[in-house]
Structure 1
């Protein structure tokens, strides 16, 4: 089995007035679907804290999924446009289940948002553009020889949920399928005790 890294980018628009309010409810972006690995994503902005904003990337559908890195930033309305408030995670992040989130609790301060509003807020629409870029791991099987290696030497490198998802696209791997079924049976026996 090999893994390739695919680059994905999407932009979301948020209303500046809503962004600067202190509220319990998060602001949610529209859903973004990626045909690269059949996943659906959304951004959410936490406005509860009085001095800072948090922005989180949430996997809505397609779990489990692994990101090698991701970046959240805002885009200026200047020509040419620039990135501002760049928050980058370079550690591998696993989204083990749907509706799981990773992000930045302190994306920017409310003071920074206010000082830079002339750069980030579109003067006509009063919208702010938030960009998300990701490097997604895509697992692929090379040959039938992989079947044995996946079921033995490499089995510990992924979670059971990831192997189940992998087998949905690679159902010809009989040895790996047997190993996954054995692990499911073990877990079932442990939970039924």
Structure 2
């Protein structure tokens, strides 16, 4: 099994007036598609808490996926632009299914958002730029045994040895692989 790390970065714009409102509904960014590992991401802002904003990274499509680290921050409108409210997670985070989120419940306080408005809010558009930087672990199988290592990592009801035995006894490899994939998919739902 070969593991490589790929870094992605994308920016999302949110309306300042919408961010400062206390609402039950989250604010959602547009979707960001990564062709590196065929995943689709979105940021969502939790505005329900009266004193803090939460920002979360959500995997929309491409599960399962493992991040080595991720960072969420806002970008100032100064020249040169700077990062502010930097929130970073350096622990590995697994997104086992589509729609799964990791993030920061206390990304920044509402007071900080108001105090730094002149730095983060574009004077013309009244938009705030939020940057997301993620490091994705991409596992590439080197041989068929590695493929089944991945399957048994996700599907613990059978051992690797048992999967290999199934392969040795079954001439119809695609059919077995499809059955394994269906069982894994059912377990992740």
Deviations 1:11-57 (A, max 9, x none): 00000011001001100000111111111110000000000000000
Whether the 8 Å contact between 2:16 and 2:128 is mirrored in structure 1 is yes
Aligned mates of 2:184, 2:97 — CA distance in 1? 21
Whether the 8 Å contact between 1:151 and 1:179 is mirrored in structure 2 is no
Per the alignment, in what secondary structure is the counterpart of residue 23 of structure 1? coil
Q: 2:148 aligns with which of 147, 151, 175?
A: 151
Query: Gaps (5+ residues) in structure 2?
Result: 157-166
1:27 to 1:183, Cα distance in 2 relative to 1, 3 A: closer
Shift of 1:160: 3.3
Query: Gaps (5+ residues) in structure 1?
Result: 162-173, 189-193
Per the alignment, in what secondary structure is the counterpart of residue 118 of structure 2? helix
Aligned mates of 2:182, 2:10 — CA distance in 1? 36
Partner of 1:45: 45
Per the alignment, in what secondary structure is the counterpart of residue 99 of structure 1? coil
Whether the 8 Å contact between 1:160 and 1:180 is mirrored in structure 2 is no
1:77 matched to 2:72? The reply is no
Per the alignment, in what secondary structure is the counterpart of residue 133 of structure 2? strand
Aligned mates of 1:138, 1:36 — CA distance in 2? 9
Per the alignment, in what secondary structure is the counterpart of residue 113 of structure 1? helix
Per the alignment, in what secondary structure is the counterpart of residue 24 of structure 2? coil
TM (norm. structure 1) is 0.80
Aligned mates of 1:84, 1:18 — CA distance in 2? 19
Whether the 8 Å contact between 2:154 and 2:184 is mirrored in structure 1 is no
1:181 to 1:77, Cα distance in 2 relative to 1, 3 A: same
Count matched residues: 171
TM (norm. structure 2) is 0.81
Aligned mates of 1:187, 1:116 — CA distance in 2? 45
